């Protein structure tokens, strides 16, 4: 139960429980349930953005496009081709993975602003194909009556609550994967690339290959989010793949906190809620949200969760220092006298010499 | 036994020969030093060996394998680690996390191992942490492991860079001015650390400006000037070589410290 002592995990846990309990509060209010469910679909795509932008430090502007591929894959296969939802979903996700991997082949050769421009071009191409290829995608008439997922036994996904929990479950899996990546050497690999590609290269990290995998993974999450979105809303149009979608996701992650486990979820929920609040001013909402984003980038560049994380780190460091001052004779795990405060630094320096020469 | 064999190595940038027909043998269990005035091509030589640059002439052989055109990822995996002249660390991370980053190249776990928490992943995480702690203790900075790399003193940063390189389990360690920026009184300690490396199975090739340190440390010294070999020999031979004295030691003793 160490997890409960870790304030970071505890925070993620609290947000998850809050959202998981939402149906109890909003039972019967189908509109509210739908807003939250759609928000969670977006959050899944934002977890993808978190892998490539948050962990790997590469600004991908193709996420809206991958979301659109997932949505249209499920939408078209379940209507025009009458596939079951699950097979359509599975194929769409595999499809985004393949497209993401192939785009990654080129993306891995670019970095920084070139990567951003390249991925934005990918996003645009996907949007153009979806909005113009009338014979296949129906262009601006969109796709109607996307199938609900087929239930089993008493589970019936035409009920908003069942749909909510389906998306919630997938979201939980995405959060867990994010957590697993973060604590593993895979996450460490991505973080080294974010901090310094040259240094990552020097310690033997396969920078290009890792970037490509991270990009493909982010595409997969985008596809999953899009596929679920299609079945939740039932109707999709080309705006599901638009560049606006990408910038929405970007705003979600900026508000919540890049490279954190809870950030994408929290940011998605808060901003979705704000969007709803300003819904009557649809066209003007960015006028209000714009300054909020600017303020966030200036005062909390790592988002809400990043800000809290720094606060926790500082407090821990202070506690550790205070702990060491109280018990200077405490021995470290290496059996030597434990770490110095500034005053004892020279002594421990002498201690290390004997260690080296033996 | 010869660990690293450099033959006729050259690198042209435009019309300029940064390094030209350099031959060098690094013997196993030895400390070999490269010295020379600024711009003599020392760092370029390191970049060529490590795979950052690709040479325009010559070959590099490590343990009998031709690594002339290998990428850094392959050379590190093959057993050559390096540190940089300007201390290069992941500054937002702790000292321990920095050293753990050195373990990436030895990690086989994939994202699936991480997600499903496989025995391989658990075993590897444990091994990585043990090896990282070992490297930290060996470099004498275990007590700083939870400090941010940007917050520790310069000397600890330099030691962190060495620990990170050692965590990749190299057979040959390239050190580019490892003692640069370290106060004179701590240089001796740092020299002891480097001297102890061959005993641990890590041969050393280093570039350094502090002559007192080099002369007491190196078994063999290569003197570069304008990208070319000026002299090669033991510290005593180098110190009495008239060419070296004229080109380097004599003219620049005042600038050394």
| Mean pLDDT, chain A cut into blocks of 10 residues (358 residues total) | 60 78 75 88 94 90 93 90 89 94 87 88 92 81 80 75 89 91 86 88 88 92 94 88 88 87 88 80 71 79 80 77 59 40 35 33
What's the pLDDT score for residue A142? 79
- Asked if residue B84 is part of any domain, the answer here is no
Contact A338 B144 (CB under 8 A): no
State how far the Cα of A194 lies from the Cα of B99, in Å rounded to an integer: 16
Return the CATH number at B234: 3.40.50.300
Contact B101 A192 (CB under 8 A): yes
Dihedral sign computed on CA atoms, order A283, A225, A189, A200: negative
The pTM (predicted TM-score) of the whole model is 0.82
How far B101 CA sits from the closest chain A CA (Å)? Answer: 6
User: Quick one: tokens of A239?
Assistant: 């705006």
How far B234 CA sits from the closest chain A CA (Å)? Answer: 23
- Asked if residue A93 is part of any domain, the answer here is yes
Nearest Cα neighbor of A230 from A48, A89, A32 is A89
Residue B150 and residue B113 share a domain:
yes
Residues of chain A with Cβ-Cβ distance to B154 below 8 Å are: none
What DSSP line would sit under B132-187, residue for residue?
HHHHHHHTT-GGGTTSBTTTS-HHHHHHHHHHHHHHT--SEEEEESTTTTS-HHHH
Contact B52 A180 (CB under 8 A): no
Q: Under the phi-then-psi rule, with left for phi > 0, alpha for psi from -120 to 50, and beta for the rest, what region is B195?
A: alpha
What's the pLDDT score for residue A219? 94
User: Quick one: tokens of A83?
Assistant: 């596939």
State how far the Cα of A145 lies from the Cα of A231, in Å rounded to an integer: 9
Residue B247 and residue B214 share a domain:
yes
Dihedral sign computed on CA atoms, order B4, B87, B133, B193: positive
Residue B235 and residue B184 share a domain:
yes
What's the pLDDT score for residue A356? 33
Q: Which of B151, B167, B183 is the last residue of a domain?
A: B167
Residues of chain B with pLDDT under 50: 252-257
pLDDT tens-place string over residues A65-121? 999 999 999 999 988 888 888 999 999 999 999 999 999 898 878 878 899 999 999
- Asked if residue A347 is part of any domain, the answer here is no
Residue B75 and residue B97 share a domain:
no
- Interface with A, mutate which of B49, B102, B104 (most A CBs under 10 A): B104
What's the pLDDT score for residue A92? 93
How far B223 CA sits from the closest chain A CA (Å)? Answer: 25
A interface toward B at CB cutoff 8 Å?
176-177, 180-181, 183-189, 191-192, 195-196, 198-207, 213, 217, 317, 320, 332-334, 336, 338-340, 345, 348-349, 351-353, 355-357
Residue of chain B with shortest Cα separation from A353: B189
What's the pLDDT score for residue A333? 43
Residue B248 and residue B188 share a domain:
yes
Residue B184 and residue B231 share a domain:
yes
State how far the Cα of A253 lies from the Cα of B148, in Å rounded to an integer: 25
How far A191 CA sits from the closest chain B CA (Å)? Answer: 9
φ, ψ dihedrals at A58, nearest 5°: -105, 120
Residue B130 and residue B25 share a domain:
no
State how far the Cα of A304 lies from the Cα of A257, in Å rounded to an integer: 6
State how far the Cα of B226 lies from the Cα of B247, in Å rounded to an integer: 10
Per the document, the length of chain B is 257
Residues of chain A with Cβ-Cβ distance to B84 below 8 Å are: 199, 202
Return the CATH number at A220: 1.10.3470
Contact A189 B115 (CB under 8 A): no
- Asked if residue A233 is part of any domain, the answer here is yes
- Asked if residue A39 is part of any domain, the answer here is yes
* Cα three-residue angle B59-B65-B70, rounded to 5 degrees: 65
* Cα three-residue angle A120-A122-A126, rounded to 5 degrees: 115
- Asked if residue A332 is part of any domain, the answer here is no
pLDDT tens-place string over residues A193-226? 988 888 888 888 898 888 998 999 999 999 999 9
- Asked if residue B150 is part of any domain, the answer here is yes
Which of A195, A202, A352 is opposite residue B92, by nearest beta carbon? A195
Residue ranges making up the domain that contains A132? 11-309
- Asked if residue B133 is part of any domain, the answer here is yes
State how far the Cα of A21 lies from the Cα of A40, in Å rounded to an integer: 14
- Asked if residue B155 is part of any domain, the answer here is yes
Cβ pair B221, B234 in contact under 8 A? yes
- Report which secondary-structure segment, H or E, holds B38: none
Contact A333 B133 (CB under 8 A): yes
Residue B220 and residue B146 share a domain:
no
Q: Which of B167, B185, B218 is the last residue of a domain?
A: B167
Q: Domains in chain B: how many in total? A: 2
Residue B136 and residue B17 share a domain:
no
Residue A177 neighbours by CB under 8 Å, 6+ apart: A47, B111, B115
Residue ranges making up the domain that contains B191? 1-79+170-257
Q: Domains in chain A: how many in total? A: 1
Residue B255 and residue B176 share a domain:
yes
3-state secondary structure of B243: helix
Residues of chain A with Cβ-Cβ distance to B125 below 8 Å are: 184-185
What's the pLDDT score for residue A97? 94
Residues of chain B with Cβ-Cβ distance to A340 below 8 Å are: 143
Which of A185, A202, A348 is opposite residue B128, by nearest beta carbon? A185
Cβ pair A201, A207 in contact under 8 A? yes
- Interface with B, mutate which of A204, A324, A358 (most B CBs under 10 A): A204
Residue of chain A with shortest Cα separation from B116: A180
- Asked if residue A254 is part of any domain, the answer here is yes
Residue B177 and residue B64 share a domain:
yes
State how far the Cα of B240 lies from the Cα of B96, in Å rounded to an integer: 44
Residues of chain A with Cβ-Cβ distance to B110 below 8 Å are: 186
């Amino acid at each position: 139960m160490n997890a409960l002592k870790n304030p970071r995990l505890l925070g993620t846990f609290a947000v998850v429980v809050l959202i998981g309990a939402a149906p109890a509060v909003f039972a019967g209010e189908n509109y509210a349930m739908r807003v939250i469910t759609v928000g969670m679909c977006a959050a899944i795509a934002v977890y993808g953005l978190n892998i490539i932008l948050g962990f790997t430090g590469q600004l991908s502007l193709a996420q809206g496009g991958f979301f659109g591929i997932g949505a249209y894959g499920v939408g078209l296969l379940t209507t025009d081709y009458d596939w079951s939802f699950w097979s359509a979903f599975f194929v769409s996700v595999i499809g985004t993975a393949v497209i993401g991997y192939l785009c990654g082949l080129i993306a891995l050769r670019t970095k920084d602003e070139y990567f951003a421009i390249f991925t934005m071009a990918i996003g645009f191409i996907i949007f153009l194909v979806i909005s113009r290829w009338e014979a296949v995608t129906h262009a601006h008439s969109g796709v109607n009556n996307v199938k609900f997922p087929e239930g089993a036994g008493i589970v019936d996904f035409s009920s908003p609550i069942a749909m909510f929990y389906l998306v919630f479950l997938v979201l939980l899996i995405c959060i867990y994967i994010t957590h697993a990546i973060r604590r593993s050497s895979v996450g460490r690999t991505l973080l080294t690339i974010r901090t310094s590609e040259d240094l990552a290269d020097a310690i033997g990290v396969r920078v290009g290959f890792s970037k490509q995998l991270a990009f493909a993974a982010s595409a997969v999450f985008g596809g999953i989010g899009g596929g679920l979105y299609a079945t939740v809303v039932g109707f999709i149009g080309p705006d599901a793949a638009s560049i606006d979608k990408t910038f929405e996701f970007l705003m979600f992650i900026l508000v919540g906190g890049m490279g954190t486990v809870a950030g994408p979820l929290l940011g998605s929920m808060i901003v979705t809620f704000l969007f709803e609040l300003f819904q009557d001013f649809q066209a003007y909402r960015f006028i209000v949200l714009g300054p909020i984003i600017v303020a966030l980038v200036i005062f909390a560049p790592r988002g809400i969760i990043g800000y809290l994380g720094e606060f926790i780190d500082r407090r821990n460091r202070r506690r550790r220092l205070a702990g060491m001052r109280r018990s200077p004779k405490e021995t470290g795990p290496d059996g030597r006298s434990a770490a110095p405060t500034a005053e004892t630094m020279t002594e421990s320096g002498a201690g290390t010499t004997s260690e080296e020469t033996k | 036994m010869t660990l690293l064999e450099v033959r006729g190595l050259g690198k042209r940038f435009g019309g300029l020969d940064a390094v030209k027909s350099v031959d060098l043998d690094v013997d196993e269990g030895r400390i070999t030093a490269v010295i020379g005035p600024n711009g003599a091509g020392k760092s370029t030589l390191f970049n060529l060996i490590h795979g950052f640059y690709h040479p325009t002439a010559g070959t590099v052989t490590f343990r009998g394998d031709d690594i002339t055109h290998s990428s850094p990822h392959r050379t590190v995996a093959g057993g050559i680690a390096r540190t940089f002249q300007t201390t290069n660390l992941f500054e937002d991370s702790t000292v321990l996390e920095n050293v753990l980053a050195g373990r990436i190249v030895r990690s086989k776990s994939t994202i699936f191992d991480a997600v499903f928490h496989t025995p391989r992943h658990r075993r590897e995480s444990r091994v990585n942490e043990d090896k990282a702690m070992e490297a930290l203790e060996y470099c004498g900075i275990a007590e700083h492991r939870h400090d941010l790399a940007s917050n520790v003193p310069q000397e600890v940063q330099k030691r962190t860079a060495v620990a990170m390189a050692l965590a990749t389990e190299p057979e040959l360690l390239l050190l580019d001015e490892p003692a640069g920026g370290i106060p004179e009184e701590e240089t001796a300690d740092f020299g002891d650390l480097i001297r102890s490396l061959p005993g641990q199975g890590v041969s050393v090739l280093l570039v350094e400006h502090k002559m007192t340190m080099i002369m007491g440390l190196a078994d063999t010294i290569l003197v570069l000037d304008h990208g070319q070999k000026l002299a090669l020999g033991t510290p005593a031979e180098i110190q009495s070589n008239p060419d070296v004295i004229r080109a380097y030691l004599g003219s620049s003793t005042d600038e050394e410290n």
